[in-house]
Structure 1
Amino acid sequence: MRMKRSTAAATAAFTVAVAIGSLTLASPASADPASGTFRTLVGVGSDTTQDVLNALAGETVNGTSYASTAVTANGAGIASYDAVDPSTGSTTANITTRQNGTSFLRPNGSGPGRAALSSSLTGTNFPVKDGTVIPGQVDFARSSGGPGVSGPGITALTYVPFARDAVGMLVKGTALANLTAAQLAEIYTSSKPITVNGQNVTPYIPQAGSGTRKFFLAAIGVQDGSLGSIVQPTQENQANGVIANDGDLMPFSAASWIAQNNGIAPDHSTTAKTGGAYLASITFSGDTTATAPVQTAAGGKLAPVEAYYNNATFGRDVYNVLPTRAIDPTSIFYNDSLYDIFVTSGAAHPAALASASSEAVIADFGFVNESYNGSVDPTKHAKFGGLEDGSSNVLPGTSTLTAAPGAGSLKISWAAPLDLGLPVTDYRAVLTGPAGTVVANKDVTAPTTSYTFTGLAAGSYSVALYADNLAGSGAAATWTGTVSAVKTASTTKASAPNTAYGQVPKVAVTVTGASVPTGKVTVKEGKTTLGTATLDKNGKASVALPRTLSVATHSLTVSYAGDSKLNASSATAKLTITKATPAVTSTAPATISHTKQAKVTVTVTATGTVPGGKVRIYEGTKIIATGTLSKGKVVITLPKLKKGKHVLHAFYTGSTTVIAKSGKSFTIKST
């Protein structure tokens, strides 16, 4: 049974958001997707990373188009929705993220963004119990902080590190130029006016649900409930109308301050900066001197101070939060586009967001790029957390598992575990083989309660069966036993002769084994299937491929699926597609008056394709006329020819699929 969000904390966050919505907020147009534009992967949440994610989505940010560096994968692009309405500055406006989708309250900050992602997964109401049900409306959340819900085995959400930021203190007045964490803790817990270095201070704090708010309070060792009565809420990273008088101060993303001041991001702090606001230096624990968050670089632009960003107290990772199951390649809920854009898996698979062009954009927005961009490894800054929509994060119980070994196969069956909270979504069976390595990792959706592994060699096998819900995986049910029947090995060999474009390429395949192979062979290029064929009585096949394969050398994988006696096998082959050789024929009048223009009909043909492109008419080495083929033919009008004999020839200039070639000479007598 899915649980409705009804916590007091959620209600309080909504109330504060509405209160902030009544403030006058700066609202230059930012970069929500254009009205009526919908993309595959939808992100909401953090104000801190919204502008850089908007840029990486290919939007126009602060007047600069980032269309040329838009991040996509497998044809899917990202849509990043601002924390507040970019046109009005409202924090209570709705967004619609899908074609004909549900309209719901714009998530303002990291916490609401993660809650919206959770509600999108579970189908609960957002943002509170009487809010909107938003199943499938959000794919990822921007977050400037770690999980709000965590615990052993709770892995619903993966916090994928994206870049490095820091939280600084935006202040006005020279008395606040150098601060310490202890001073800030005293300021933010005070319920009566307080002075620092003789200056009365007025502290502001980002809105409830803000990742910057949560991070800052943790950094100075203050609980949210211990905030002093003099602390006033305000919209995160927007200083206009807030930092106006000496003694005013608020936590502020260093990256956001850099991007706003450098004219990269929409500037919500112009009047504050003009009035003298700046990021104070902080004396870190154990240091004797203060460190500034930013510095002035070449051209007067602001840049990060990496020592500040890397500080363990005030430096922070910012994250893109993803459903864990959606970026697990072994999961039935795997989303390859989400994985390819956000996840780095070793040097062979960098996230699209970790490309050189993406990291150049990230740096422009004031962040520091790190080698762990896209990591899902907890030892490399990734984190795991639970659902944040008020749903139960209790893991499923353990299923009851039985197994029946067969001839080279193993059938497993199970009974569903007790429903302790969220319903079971799928079952994952991990099969370990005789060598102690994982042979198969099969994920099936509930309510499926059986699966058969086939094609197994003889030996001892172990099965671990996990019941999953959105919170994570329950404890495994296990079985160990022996599979006796074994298929024998097969060997596949393949070759492919060079073929001209337009002709049918063929791959010759031979499969051998202890018995005569039966069944089919498949030829692929990458993930694309190009052709299949059935083996003959001698284990051979000729696989015809599309005649439209591009002119290039193609790396092919030839796979034999196996049969009841033989295991599968595969081979590789190179196929070179060359350009087609055309025939060029010309038809022209034998004689023509020198006062008239002759017309020459040129036909270009090639086996299996209709050539296109240009045709030139030469007299000697001089081009006297040109034309463009249409359906392999063109009629070219010549200029008036001087009296006498003219020896001409047509020359086809070729195309991407057909080589260039000259036609036979022909003579026109001009009278």
Structure 2
Amino acid sequence: MRRTRLTAAMVAAAVVSGTLVLASPASADPTPAGTFRQLVGVGSDTTQDVLNALAGDEVNGKSYATTAVKAGDAGLASYDAIEPVTGSTTSNIQTRTGGPSFLRPNGSGKGRLALSMSLTGDKFPDSSGVSIKGQVDFARSSSGPSTSGTAFTYIPFARDAVGVAVRGSALNTLTVDQLHDIYSGSLTEVNGQTVHPQIPQSGSGTRKFFLAAIGLTDATLSPNVPAVQENQANDALTQDGALVPFSVGSWIAQINDVAPDHSTTAAAAGAHLASVQLPGDTGATSPVTTVNGKLTPVGGYYENATFGRNVYNVVPSRAIDPTGVFFDKALYDVFVTNGTHEAALASDTAETVIASFGFMNESYNGSVNPAKHAKLGGLEESGVDASVPAAPVLKATRGDASVKLSWTAPAATALPVTDYRVTLTGSDGAVVATKDVPATSTSYSFTGLALGTYTATVSAANLNGSGTAASWTGIVKYTTTTKATTATTAYGKTPKVVVTVADTHGIVPTGKVTVKEGTTTLGTGTLDSTGKATVSLSTHLKVATHSLSVSYGGNGKLLTSKTTASLKITKATPTVSPTAPGTISHTSQAKVTVKVSATGTTPAGTVRIYEGSHILATGTLSGGKVTITLPKLARGTHTLHAYYVGSSTVNSKSSANFTIKST
């Protein structure tokens, strides 16, 4: 873990003492030719040479193989902004075995564009190019985001500064106002010297940063200022009065013979970095000083808010999220410092290399926290819809100390959903668990939870970032099992449903149970100390087989549960009791009183008096009784019986025989 800032001054001292050998000029893409490595970076000219060194390649004739930064077997592959041998800006590169050959990204902007298109699968650099999906893992950038969003994390890599490389003593000292006027076209002469301003190529991070520092934009830059390749003084400073923005780190590395030379010819002819009067200062500050014959950064200039800058490695935010489905551990291990995890690029060995290339190391190198110098930005591909997904439609089902979340995908956006982030928080707002699942998943369960109130959220993400979250809040409890038994019951008697509620966690269920038929509540009951309840129903349920739903209402610790039961109600069995005179005159009509009774009900309906199979007379019950007048009976003894024909609730029944003697 680093504890002190390592600057180029230390490296300069090492050069003089002989502990660091600087070799003859040379630079290349990953070597030998045809080398492919796992973590591919493109973009900024400013940081290409130091990244080449950290990748373990040969830079300016010196091999950095012994100090190569790796994550396990995963190494860096850093491709130059322009062709390293010929200087061509139109050459192609191939970054994967069997991958496409595509135009070399020249500068920070083009590097970030290539990273964007590597994610979207679009053609680089435009529709005339080729699809480069999956061909780039990170972008070197000497400036911050050009678009808002969260798709990319800009991880601080080192501290640089932007100076002004000039030729001629008339431009030894410049002010911010002078630079503004020179580059806007309103100032053409300084100290009697005609000025010849130049600007790095479009897409250069140094160009973007410098214009912002002097209060201009591409739109307000004078159209008469020609563009040149970034950080190459030999081609830019060919006459007195010429000036161009320049990475101070790159100038130091070139003049110190650490990086490939694009500037020493100009320096020999009088080119140098001008001193700049920084905002709020009365004097001018030089960006560099000399220690033991070597250039080294001036801390005050590098730390200045106007001309000092962080340089970045830009990575997809989702690739450095350890909880995400797109997490790239190798990328994380190389670039990210977070808590006790230190980026490989922030090791003491790596920072020695970084300092040797003219940069200053900071305590926040590798930070992914926007509050500590990291930045967030969106995709940098023009025409891409920047919208994030809407909230999914969420449903939650509670289980045994668990909750299952199910959702329906939100309406489609221009960029498809790539994954869903599921988060569970407790009643205190603390995150209990989080899970990222692929776009093909539409459910996730949190299990083994303690009892309590939780809030679950689900948000859909695409390459632009996460959208609005759908949420659910509820109490997680234990499950229960409800069982119910019944017995066949005659109409008029009380039907009973015996309900037993059980739990698997040793908690005796308490509370109420309810018995329904359809939407009609037939009865309720309260569980006893053993988790049982007997629910008595109406004695007047119709004669039929009833389909019952039996539910337990739950309590503070237990979930509801339910079951079904079948209850059969049969007709009541009646008692038929006739009362008749024993003797009657054959000239009179006997009266027979018949009483029909049944438990819990008063039978109604028809009663018949039979002699054998012959019906003598009929009557209708009223209040369970009827008196029936018989026809005149012939002399003799007549054996009769009463027959109750039954009803919808009471069975039919014959009485015992009785006799009447007619005289």
* TM-score > 0.5 by shorter chain: yes
Provide the residue aligned with 2:333 in structure 1: 340
Matches within 5 A, 1:25-174: 28-150=26-148, 154-174=149-169
Work out whether residues 31 and 58 of structure 2, in 8 Å CA contact, stay in contact via their aligned partners in 1.
Answer: no
Give distance in 1, aligned partners of 2:154 and 2:443.
33
Amino acid across the alignment from 2:244:
M
CA distance in 1, matches of 2:136, 2:397: 42
Q: Could you tell me whether the CA contact under 8 Å between 1:30 and 1:51 is conserved in 2?
A: no
More displaced 10-residue stretch of structure 1: 211-220 or 126-135? 126-135
Partner of 1:532: none
**Cα distance in 2, alignment partners of residues 62 and 51 from structure 1:** 9
Q: Which secondary structure state, in structure 2, belongs to the residue aligned with residue 255 of structure 1?
A: helix
The count of corresponding residues between Structure 1 and Structure 2 is 458
Q: Which residue of 1 aligns with 2:477?
A: 484
Asked whether the 8 Å contact 1:46–1:211 carries over to 2, the reply is yes
Letter in structure 2 aligned against 1:250: V
* 1:242 maps to which of 224, 236, 240: 236
- Give the counterpart of 1:320 among 271, 289, 313: 313
The superposition leaves residues 469-527 of structure 1 with CA deviations (integer Å, 9 ceiling, x where unpaired) of: 1001101110001111299xxxxxxxxxxxxxxxxxxxxxxxxxx99xxxxxxxxxxxx
1:415 aligns with 2:408: yes
Question: Is contact 1:124-1:389 (8 Å) kept?
Answer: no
The question of 1:204 aligning with 2:198 is answered yes
Paired residue for 1:277?
271
Letter in 2 for 1:228: S
Task: Write the distance in 1 (CA, Å) between the matches of 2:479 and 2:263.
Answer: 71
Checking the alignment, whether the CA contact within 8 Å between 1:162 and 1:319 is kept in structure 2 is yes
State the distance in 2 between where 1:32 and 1:222 align: 37
Query: 2:439 maps to which residue?
Result: 446
Distance 2:137 2:479 in 1: 44
Shift of 1:432: 1.1
**Residue of 455, 459, 462 corresponding to 1:466:** 459
Give percent identity, aligned residues only. 62
The answer (yes or no) to whether the contact 1:375–1:381 under 8 Å persists in 2 is: yes
Q: Report the Cα distance in structure 2 between the residues aligned to 1:182 and 1:379, rounded to whole angstroms.
A: 31
1:233-256 CA-partner distances (Å, limit 9, x unpaired): 000001113202110000000000
Q: What secondary structure sits across from 1:84 in the alignment?
A: coil
Q: Superposition pairs for residues 153-552 of structure 1, below 5 Å?
A: 154-190=149-185, 194-298=188-292, 300-346=293-339, 348-390=340-382, 391-485=384-478
Give 1:226 deviation, angstroms.
Answer: 1.6
Aligned to 1:258, what secondary structure does the other structure show?
helix
1:394 deviates by 1.1
Q: Cα deviation per residue 1:514-545 (whole Å; 9 max; x = unaligned)?
A: 99xxxxxxxxxxxxxxxxxxxxxxxxxxxxxx
CA–CA distance in structure 2, aligned partners of residues 371 and 31 of structure 1: 29
TM-score, with length taken from structure 2: 0.68
Measured after TM superposition, the shift of residue 33 of structure 1 is 3.5
Q: In the alignment, which residue of structure 1 is the partner of 2:611? A: none
Q: CA 1:97 to 1:252, structure 2 compared with 1: closer, same or farther past 3 Å? A: same
| Equivalent residues of 1:261, 1:267 under 8 A apart | yes
Match of 1:639 in 2: none
Report if the CA contact (8 A) 1:47-1:83 is conserved: yes
| In structure 2, C-alpha distance between the alignment counterparts of 1:198 and 1:128, rounded to whole Å | 45
Trace 1:579-594 onto structure 2 (pairs within 5 A): none
Amino acid at match of 1:88: T
Deviation at 1:74, TM superposition (A): 2.5
Kindly state the Cα deviation for residue 421 of structure 1 after the two structures are TM-superposed.
Answer: 2.3
SS in 2 for 1:187: helix
- Cα deviation, 1:565-608, whole Å, max 9, x if unaligned, reads xxxxxxxxxxxxxxxxxxxxxxxxxxxxxxxxxxxxxxxxxxxx
- What's the secondary structure of 2:400's corresponding residue? coil
Measure, in 1, the Cα distance between the counterparts of 2:429 and 2:450.
Answer: 13
Amino acid at match of 1:345: N
1:116 alignment partner AA: A
1:636: which partner in 2? none
Query: 1:583 — aligned with what?
Result: none
Shift of 1:420: 2.7
Give the TM-score normalised by structure 1.
Answer: 0.67
- Cα deviation, residue 366, structure 1: 0.3
Q: CA deviation at 1:30?
A: 3.2
Deviation at 1:90, TM superposition (A): 0.4
- Partner of 1:95, secondary structure, is strand
**Residue deviations 1:383-428, cap 9 Å, x none?**
0000012222211111111100101221101111122321110000
Provide closer, same or farther for how the CA distance between residues 486 and 344 of structure 1 changes in structure 2, counting only shifts above 3 A.
Answer: farther
Aligned residue runs from structure 1 range 620-659, under 5 A: none
Which whole-Å CA distance do the structure 1 matches of 2:223 and 2:452 have between them? 70
Q: Distance in 1 between matches of 2:397 and 2:431?
A: 19
CA distance in 1, matches of 2:471, 2:135: 37
Alignment deviations for residues 369-389 of structure 1 (CA, whole Å, 9 cap, x no partner): 000000011111000000012
Deviation at 1:339, TM superposition (A): 0.5
The code of the aligned residue for 2:27 comes to A
SS in 1 for 2:471: strand
Q: How far apart are residue 435 of structure 1 and its match? A: 4.8
CA contact (8 A) 1:33 1:81 kept: no
Cα separation, 2, equivalents of 1:272 and 1:225: 30
**Which residue identity is paired with 2:183?**
Y
Distance (Å, rounded) in 2 between the aligned partners of 1:129 and 1:226? 29
Asked whether the 8 Å contact 2:396–2:403 carries over to 1, the reply is: yes
Q: Is the 8 A contact 1:396 1:469 kept in 2?
A: yes
Alpha-carbon offset, residue 323 of structure 1: 0.1
Residue 162 of structure 1 aligns with an amino acid whose one-letter code is F
Q: Which has the larger radius of gyration?
A: 2
Deviation at 1:130, TM superposition (A): 2.0
Q: Give the SS at the match of 1:163.
A: strand
Cα distance change, pair 214–305 in 1 and its aligned pair in 2 (3 A): same
Tell me the alpha carbon deviations over residues 62-114 of structure 1, each in whole angstroms, 9 at most, x when there is no partner. Answer: 01111111011132111000000111100100000000101100000000000
Distance 2:428 2:209 in 1: 47
AA partner of residue 185 (structure 1)? H
**Residue type matched to 1:125 in 2?**
K
Are the structure 2 counterparts of residues 402 and 182 from structure 1 closer, same or farther at C-alpha, using a change threshold of 3 Å?
same
Aligned residue identity for 1:460: T
CA contact (8 A) 2:26 2:61 kept: no
